[in-house]
Amino acid sequence: MTINPIHKTTIEQTIKDEDPTANNFAYELSSDETLGSQIWYVEWKSKKLGKDEALYYITINKNNVIHFYDDGVAAAKSIYDMIEKRRSIIQRLSEFTLVDLIAAFIAIVVTIAFVMQLTIKGSLGQEMIAIFGIILGYYFGKNIGKTSN
């Protein structure tokens, strides 16, 4: 597949604006229509930049918006971000284990009870403070264990 001549002109002009010595552009299609975007790899010869620096990964979306990435990691992160934006709430919830979901449900119920008691009575009983403290301790302790591993 060849690159659209309009895109080619825009890409080469953008690169020449940054590197006036750029010439001999070589295009390679890395992925055709990934998440509605084409991903191209572009190399060029340059007197200003070294061979390992005279390259871009370029995404061209269906609206013909062109994004330039100077390394593969940045391009991959952009693709990952596009995937994350498309995920539904159900897909995100499916990543949690049953234990995590039950713990989250209990925490939400206790927090609602905590707020309701504070709103209605204007004060909290010692039992509610103790229960809420245990739940907070559980969550903070759980998070500390995950980050230290």
Task: Tell me how many domains the chain contains.
Answer: 2
State how far the alpha carbon of 9 is from the alpha carbons of 18, 68, 118, in Å: 14, 14, 65
Are residues 63 and 15 both part of a single domain?
yes
The answer to which of 10-14, 43-47, 86-90 has the lowest mean pLDDT is 86-90
Co-location of 33 and 97 in the same domain: no
Residues 9 and 46 in one domain: yes
Kindly report, residue by residue over 116-133, the tens digit of the pLDDT.
888 888 777 787 788 878
Tell me, yes or no, whether 116 and 53 share the same domain. Answer: no
CA 66/CA 99 separation, integer angstroms = 44
Residues 26 and 40 in one domain: yes
Which domain covers residue 60, as residue numbers?
5-86
Model pTM above 0.75 = no
- pLDDT-derived band at 149 (thresholds 50, 70, 90) equals very low
135 alpha-carbon distance from chain centroid? 30
The answer on 104 and 126 residing in a single domain is: yes
Supply the mean pLDDT for the chain: 83
My answer on whether 9 and 30 are in the same domain is: yes
